[in-house]
């Protein structure tokens, strides 16, 4: 009888504990739901013609193609073709200084009328900006919109380039192959590095000040000074993210392969792309 009483007395406690756990899990799911996330914070709003943005309509079907087994030769062939297609749309960004123009980072052209995605952390919103096309020619540019949450800036060049990079309309996955294109140290223009997506949905407090930058892609394609703002692309030549930096040291310990990019899939509001 004693044992039965003990079991009966614990049943209400177990029921209460179960209800508490279920309630906590429901709350967590609501907090993580895209509908309840904080909206992007914009400044310097400007008109954006969403019809001009080079969204890749075939990127979803192309993604399935990349899931098929590929030989090393096929990977190499696709990589070369993807780089050749996107490189002309990658630009070097400068800001006017007392001694000419200082190098800030890279960017990628996403529309025929000269819209450029880059990293806010390295371009900022002040000063006279200039972009250098892959042809070596330069054009003035200005900030029209900034997403402070994801630390990405949208620039408008005064001249329209001939090259445009298509944006992927899907988020990457851990293990996906990626290529990074940028101009580290200015002299090494349009350098290409390769790697894989290590994790998705990670937050990085070190580049966003007091508020961590959420929903990032962590990958191991080398990213050095000058590459920031440049794109990471898949093997079909679709831009899947914008590099915003890398981490080389944590608590005094050196780390490798910790580059971070904002996925294009979270930038639809910045670019006013309808879902």
For residue 152, the number of C-alpha atoms closer than 13 Å in the C-beta half-sphere is: 28
SS3 category, 195: strand
SS3 category, 201: strand
pLDDT at 205: 65
Helix (H) or strand (E) segment spanning residue 205: none
Residues sharing a CB contact under 8 Å with residue 56, sequence separation 6 or more, in sequence order: 62, 166, 167, 168, 169, 236, 238
Tens digits of per-residue pLDDT, 92-126?
988 877 666 777 789 999 998 899 999 887 777 66
pLDDT at 1: 42
For residues 7-33, average pLDDT? 49
235 pLDDT band, cuts 50/70/90, is very high
- Counting every residue written for the chain, the total comes to 275
Class of residue 54 by CB neighbours under 10 A (exposed 0-12, middle 13-18, buried 19+): middle
pLDDT at 204: 77
Pick the closest to residue 117 from 106, 129, 133 (CA basis).
106
Q: What percent of the chain has pLDDT over 70?
A: 65
247 pLDDT band, cuts 50/70/90, is confident
- Domain locations in the chain as residue ranges: 2-36, 58-81+166-271
Higher pLDDT, 98 or 261: 261
What's the rounded Cα separation, in Å, for the pair 268 and 15?
44
Residues sharing a CB contact under 8 Å with residue 168, sequence separation 6 or more, in sequence order: 56, 59, 63, 234, 238, 239, 240, 264, 265
For residues 196-209, average pLDDT? 77
Higher pLDDT, 269 or 126: 269
Alpha helix stretches (DSSP H) within the chain: 2-32, 59-67, 72-86, 120-123, 268-271
pTM, two decimals, is 0.76
Tens digits of per-residue pLDDT, 121-177?
777 766 688 888 888 888 999 888 888 888 899 999 998 777 899 998 787 889 999
What are 152's strand-pairing partners?
A: 119, 147
Residue 158, phi then psi, degrees to nearest 5: -75, -20
CATH of 58-81+166-271, one of 3.40.50.2300, 3.30.465.10, 3.30.70.270, 2.40.10.10: 2.40.10.10
Higher pLDDT, 231 or 100: 231
Tens digits of per-residue pLDDT, 48-57?
554 457 666 5
């Amino acid at each position: 009888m004693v044992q039965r009483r003990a079991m009966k007395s614990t049943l209400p406690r177990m029921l209460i504990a179960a209800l508490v756990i279920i309630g906590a899990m429901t709350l967590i799911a609501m907090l993580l739901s895209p509908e309840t996330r904080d909206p992007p914070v914009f400044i310097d709003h400007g008109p954006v013609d969403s019809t001009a943005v080079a969204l890749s309509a075939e990127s979803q079907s192309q993604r399935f193609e990349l899931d098929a087994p590929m030989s090393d030769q096929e990977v190499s062939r696709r990589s070369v073709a993807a780089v050749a297609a996107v490189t002309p749309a990658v630009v070097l960004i400068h800001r006017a200084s007392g001694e000419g123009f200082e190098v800030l980072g890279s960017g990628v052209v996403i529309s025929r009328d000269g819209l450029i995605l880059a990293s806010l952390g390295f371009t900022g919103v002040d000063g006279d900006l200039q972009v250098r096309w892959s042809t070596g020619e330069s054009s003035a540019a200005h900030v029209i919109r900034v997403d402070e949450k994801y630390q990405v800036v949208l620039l408008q060049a005064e001249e329209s380039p001939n090259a445009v990079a298509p944006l992927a309309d899907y988020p990457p996955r851990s293990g996906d192959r990626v290529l990074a294109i940028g101009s580290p140290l200015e002299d090494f223009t349009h350098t290409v590095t390769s790697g894989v997506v290590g994790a998705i949905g990670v937050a990085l407090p070190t580049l966003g000040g007091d508020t961590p930058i959420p929903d990032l892609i962590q990958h191991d394609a080398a990213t050095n000074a000058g590459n920031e703002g440049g794109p990471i692309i898949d093997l079909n030549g679709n831009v899947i993210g914008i590099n915003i930096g890398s981490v080389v040291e944590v608590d005094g310990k050196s780390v490798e392969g910790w580059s971070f990019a904002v996925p294009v899939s979270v930038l639809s509001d910045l670019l006013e792309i309808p879902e």
